[in-house]
Chain A
Amino acid sequence: EDKVVQSPLSLVVHEGDTVTLNCSYEVTNFRSLLWYKQEKKAPTFLFMLTSSGIEKKSGRLSSILDKKELFSILNITATQTGDSAVYLCAVENTGTASKLTFGTGTRLQVTL
């Protein structure tokens, strides 16, 4: 059974700090790893990673995948209160038809 584990489960940081969120996975037929941000209800897409060692970057957020060690990290630099959210990691399994397996998420709270 496919499995995605995220750590830490939650953390509280001060505005301006840098945070690293972790995602490890076990999947039978890996196709991609995706990161989402969930603030209230609907998760919003952040990154999709398919190749090892290639950093994806969007503003203060960046992510990288290690397919040998089966993990990914999401970095947020110079955190702002608007970064407070649950960050979800998901892996895509090709199988007979692609589907996503999600981790339980990391709850990030950024305080002033």
Chain B
Amino acid sequence: KAGVTQTPRYLIKTRGQQVTLSCSPISGHRSVSWYQQTPGQGLQFLFEYFSETQRNKGNFPGRFSGRQFSNSRSEMNVSTLELGDSALYLCASSLAPDYLYEQYFGPGTRLTVT
């Protein structure tokens, strides 16, 4: 079956702009988590969605937001972009929140803020 897909794969934005990233989970998966990966901080948890509800949020400012649709697809939005937001944004899906051992990651969206 098709894996987790993320669009776009690469993105270049300037400071102050906003960006929306999309994640389509594996068919049948209802839980979607987002992570930010940078060389200095590693992989950091952003938020987790299940059944259109945000279940948990990591330690990120309010500029980072997300949502999940009824078909389990998820989007994350970053407003007022800063240079430090340049990172690889990874999305992962699983059947349900407790199925972390069956969490599959997408290829990521590489965001560059100039």
Contact = CB atoms under 8 A, between A and B. Distances in A.
Interface stretch (A22-30, A61-69, A93-101): A93-101
A41 B101 contact: no
A111 interface: no
A98 B4 CA distance: 21
Contacts of B41: 104
B97 A34 contact: no
A34 B101 contact: yes
B100 A102 contact: no
Interface stretch (B42-50, B60-68, B69-77, B79-87): B42-50
Interface size, B (range): 20 to 34
Contacts of B48: 97-99
A32 B100 contact: yes
B56 A99 contact: yes
Interface residues of A, number: 23
A45 B103 contact: yes
Interface string A21-62: 000000000001010000001111100100000000000000
Given A41-B88, A42-B90, A98 B108 contact: no
Nearest to A102: B43
A21 to B, nearest CB: 15
A102 B42 CA distance: 7
Contacts of A102: 35, 42-45
Given A48-B100, A99-B33, A99-B48, 16 more contacts: A1-B59, A32-B100, A41-B88, A41-B105, A42-B104, A42-B105, A42-B107, A44-B105, A45-B103, A88-B42, A88-B43, A95-B56, A97-B48, A98-B98, A102-B35, A102-B43
